[in-house]
Amino acid sequence: MSSMPKQTDVILIGAGVMSATLGVLLKELAPDMKIKVFEKLASAGEESSNEWNNAGTGHAALCELNYTTENADGTIDISKAVKVNEQFQLSRQFWSHLVKEQVLPNPKEFIMPIPHMSMVEGAENVTFLKKRLEALSANPLFKGMEFSEDPEQLKQWIPLIMEGRTSPEPIAATKIDSGTDVNFGALTRILFDHLKQLDVEINYGHGVEDLKRVDGGWEIKVKNDQDNRIEHHTAKFIFIGGGGGSLPLLQKTGIPESKQIGGFPVSGLFLVCKNPEIAERHHAKVYGKAKVGAPPMSVPHLDTRYIDGQKSLLFGPFAGFSPKFLKTGSNLDLITSVKPNNVLTMLAAGAKEMGLTKYLIEQVLLSTEQRMNELREFIPNAKTEDWDVVVAGQRVQVIKDTPQGKGTLQFGTEVVSAADGSVAALLGASPGASTAVPVMLEVLGKCFPDQMPEWEAKIKEMIPSYGTSLVANPELFDQIHAETTKTLELTEAQPIR
C-alpha cells in the first residue's frame, strides 16, 4: 500500500550524530521549522555513532600522528592538525551552549577529560616526534604538550605500556592533558530526545528507498517496517545523513554532483578490556604510528573509554574488508554502488590501491592470537583472557576523481550538495563525529544561503569563534578553551593507580 505525499520543511535521513546535530542547529536557528526524521533501525545512534562502533576520540589532532606529515625537507606540516583542532573547538562550543541550555544537562554523560598521547619506537620515529612537538608547541592551540623519552617518566604516564617492555629500541611519547573521550552514541540519543520534545517527528523503523525531485523540493519513498507500507513524504530540503548508507541514497538523487563518486567500505574490529584492575592502570588515549601500507584510519591506539559509567580499554582498530556499507547493511552494497558514471573511477581506484587491498585482506585473516600480539606491542603483558573482540562500525571511504588522479581514495569527511542547495549528503568518516558541528555548519552555508545572514548573530552567540581563526587569535582561543573546559566539566584530573 502507498500513501499520499506528506509535506514538511526538512527531512533528515538517518538518526546518527550528524542528523542529530543538524536538527538541533536548525531548531535553534528556526524554531518554527517543521522537521521529520526517518531512520531504518529501531532507535537513534545504532550505527557508526554508537559508542562501541567508534573509538570515541574527540579528534583535536593532539595525538593522531597522521595529521602531521613530514615534508621532503624534514620540516613538519601542521596545517591539517590546526584545521582539525579548530574544527573541534567549534563542536566544543556548541556542546557547551547546549549544556548551558540544559539540553545536555550532564556533560559527563557524553564527554570526559583524558590525556591524549602519541607514542613511537625507534630512533627515526623519536626524532620525528621531537620535531612534531617543536612545530606544534609554537602554536597556541597545542599549548601544554609535553615530551619524554625518559623510561622513568614514561612509566608514570603509561605504566601498563612500559611494564614488561624488553625492546632495546628507544621509545618516546608526547602527552597533553586537554584531550577528551566522547560518547557519541549517548550524545546522539540525548539530542534526538531533545528534538522529540521540540515536536520533531522521528520515525524509527523507516528505511528510505528512493528520492525524486518534485516541484519545490524532493519526495522520498519510505518503507515502514512495522506494516511494510510504502509512504511518500516531501520536503523543501533533505539531508542524507545515512552514514555508510548515504552514498546509495545520494546516487538515487541523480544530481550531477553525485556522479563519478564511489565508496570503498572498510570494516573494523576492536579489542576491549573491561577488567577494572587493568582498566584502572591506564589513563590516556595513546596513538601509535600506522604500519606501512595501512590507511591512516587504522593507526593503532590504546584508549581509555568511559561507557555506561564504566571505565574500559579499547585497542585497535583492526581494519578489514566487508562489502557492506553499514554494519546492518547488505553484502550487495558495494557492487550495486558501481554505476556507469563511476565504474571508471572505481576501477582506477582498485588498480591504484592494491597495497591497501593487500593490507585489508591480511587484517581480515588475523587470528585472535595475532591480534593479541599486535596489542602486546602496546601492552607487553596483555593476557588473551582479559580481552574480547568487538565489531566496530563500517567506514565508507569516498573515491573520486581529483587533481591527484582518477579514482583517488579520500580519507576525509565530505559534504556533497545540489547546486540549488535542496539536498545535501555527508560522505566519508574521518575526523568524523568530532567535526559534526563544523560540518553541519558547512551544510547550512551551502543549503541555506539566504537565511545565513539572518542566522549569523545566533550562531555567534552559540559558537563565539564561528567565522574567526582561533590560531590567529590566541587570546580568544584561551578564553573559549577555558570556558568550554569549565562548562563541559573537563578539569578533573584522574590519578593512575
Binding of residue 217 to ligand FAD (CB under 6 A):
no
Segment 423-452, which members bind ligand FAD (CB under 6 A)?
426, 429, 431-434
For residue 267, the minimal CB distance to ligand FAD (Å) is 8
Question: What whole-number distance in Å separates Cα of residue 349 and Cα of residue 344?
Answer: 8
CB atoms within 10 A of CB 7: 15
Rank residues 268 and 464 by Cβ distance to ligand FAD and give the closer one: 268
For residue 381, the minimal CB distance to ligand FAD (Å) is 26
Rank residues 47 and 86 by Cβ distance to ligand FAD and give the closer one: 47
Which residue, chain included where needed, has cell 615530551?
147
Omega before 159 within 30 of 0, i.e. cis: no
Q: The C-alpha cell of 234 is what? A: 516531501
Question: What whole-number distance in Å separates Cα of residue 218 and Cα of residue 44?
Answer: 24
CB atoms within 10 A of CB 139: 16
Which one of 392, 398, 425, 441 is in contact with ligand FAD (CB under 6 A)? 392
What DSSP string describes 191-214?
HHHHHHHTT-EEETTEEEEEEEEE
Binding of residue 39 to ligand FAD (CB under 6 A):
yes
Helix (H, G, I), strand (E, B) or coil at 474: helix
Binding of residue 184 to ligand FAD (CB under 6 A):
yes
Which range in 53-61, 73-81, 121-129, 373-381 contacts ligand FAD by CB under 6 A?
53-61
CA angle 306, 321, 361 (to 5 degrees): 115
Binding of residue 61 to ligand FAD (CB under 6 A):
no
For residue 325, the minimal CB distance to ligand FAD (Å) is 8
Binding of residue 54 to ligand FAD (CB under 6 A):
yes
CA 431 to chain centroid, in Å, comes to 5
Binding of residue 207 to ligand FAD (CB under 6 A):
yes
Binding of residue 40 to ligand FAD (CB under 6 A):
yes
Please say whether the dihedral angle defined by the alpha carbons of residues 53, 371, 412 and 335, taken in this order, is positive or negative: negative
Which range in 7-15, 146-154, 350-358, 402-410 contacts ligand FAD by CB under 6 A?
7-15
Residue nearest to ligand FAD (CB): 16
Binding of residue 23 to ligand FAD (CB under 6 A):
no
Element holding 230 (H helix, E strand): strand 229-240
Rank residues 241 and 407 by Cβ distance to ligand FAD and give the closer one: 241
Binding of residue 12 to ligand FAD (CB under 6 A):
no
Helix (H, G, I), strand (E, B) or coil at 54: coil
Question: What whole-number distance in Å separates Cα of residue 418 and Cα of residue 254?
Answer: 10
Rank residues 66 and 434 by Cβ distance to ligand FAD and give the closer one: 434
Which one of 78, 160, 202, 208 is in contact with ligand FAD (CB under 6 A)? 208
Rank residues 171 and 392 by Cβ distance to ligand FAD and give the closer one: 392
Rank residues 57 and 174 by Cβ distance to ligand FAD and give the closer one: 57
Please say whether the dihedral angle defined by the alpha carbons of residues 242, 245, 249 and 255, taken in this order, is positive or negative: positive
Dihedral of the alpha carbons of 45, 460, 412, 207, in degrees to the nearest 10: 30
Binding of residue 288 to ligand FAD (CB under 6 A):
no
Question: What whole-number distance in Å separates Cα of residue 184 and Cα of residue 205?
Answer: 21
For residue 53, the minimal CB distance to ligand FAD (Å) is 6
Which residue, chain included where needed, has cell 558541528?
437
Residue ranges that bind ligand FAD, judged by CB under 6 A: 13-19, 38-41, 46-49, 53-57, 59, 184, 207-208, 241-243, 245, 249, 268, 317, 326, 392-393, 395, 426, 429, 431-434
